Structure 1
């Protein structure tokens, strides 16, 4: 007999009723999501891990405030985002630093035990991330929400406080600018990888 995976709302309900261990299900499900968002802000893996972890603690402590009118991931995105902005203000770090990203890419490329297809996927992802770094932060944020965070246009509209149609138009324009950026800056790499 197959066991069904409980929905986020069911898990939250169980946690609020005293079964705190169930919160681990949400952490496992959204760990990579929270880390990806934090890394876009900090460009530092250690800081991103710490901020993602802090976001889960904050979400847990404020779980009673989650109303369920948006996906849990949308609510979590807001928490991660605000923690990252506070962190950056405190540290006065530069939000865009490509140097650290290149160090990680070189380190990743030197992992000889990785399978060829995995390396190819990483190369595509790194190339995409490098191209997104060159975009305006608003475009990068939109693309991250839609593709990496898998948010719907309605959820993106809520996060950005705009109308869904406006989100759709902005996403279309961001995709165009990403395509143009890749063609302009990474034409050779695109031909080699894709």
Structure 2
């Protein structure tokens, strides 16, 4: 079965001219590749375009892949840089939270308690709303680490930052999320009363 064929075998087949093998790699990784692009671009059509561009770049550069990292990590790095270049080209503007807001970290316990009492679906809605307030690169780090369970080392390779920098950014971003969730939940309670 195609899903049991290791990436290394498919890569070798592509290098030898079997383009159908690349279609299997695309099918295997397109979902998360699109998700990475979408988190950064926050626009479906642009994310689709960036994902296609990234797969084209990966196809053209496949002979240069030497296996120092997993193929998926190498590919996601291409997706990340392609999406970043698309943001620069399109000059997207995002609203960011200042680090001053994250300084109110004591709110985290209150937000965590409120958040845990919500139904799973409601938690997801609030979490997505909170993630949408973050700069795209911070939202992507949280998504890669928590939702897709990539290691700090893999994320470091994908986004091109040091492991220490990734850890610091994850900590700061979690603090921002706690603050945003606290305000969202506080507003929801006020609206209910």
Q: Same fold by TM (over 0.5)?
A: yes
Residue ranges of structure 2 left out of the alignment (5+ in a row): 97-118
Task: Report whether the alignment pairs 1:177 with 2:176.
Answer: yes
The aligned counterpart of 1:66 is 65
Counterpart CA distance in 2 for 1:63 and 1:3 is 19
Q: Report the Cα offset of residue 85 of structure 1.
A: 2.3
Task: Please give the TM-score of this superposition, normalised by the length of structure 2.
Answer: 0.70
Residues 130, 177 of structure 2: 8 Å contact kept: yes
Counterpart CA distance in 2 for 1:10 and 1:189 is 52
The aligned counterpart of 1:108 is none
Q: Report the Cα offset of residue 138 of structure 1.
A: 4.7
The aligned counterpart of 1:167 is 166
Residue ranges of structure 1 left out of the alignment (5+ in a row): 98-119
Q: Report the Cα offset of residue 64 of structure 1.
A: 0.9
Matches within 5 A, 1:51-62: 51-62=50-61
Number of positions where the alignment pairs a residue of Structure 1 with one of Structure 2: 167
Residues 146, 153 of structure 1: 8 Å contact kept: yes
Pair 22,90 (structure 1): closer, same or farther in 2 beyond 3 Å: same
Alignment RMSD: 3.0
Counterpart CA distance in 2 for 1:3 and 1:21 is 11
SS at structure 2 position matched to 1:61: helix
Task: Please give the TM-score of this superposition, normalised by the length of structure 1.
Answer: 0.70
The aligned counterpart of 1:111 is none
Runs of 4+ in 1 over 6 A off after TM superposition: none
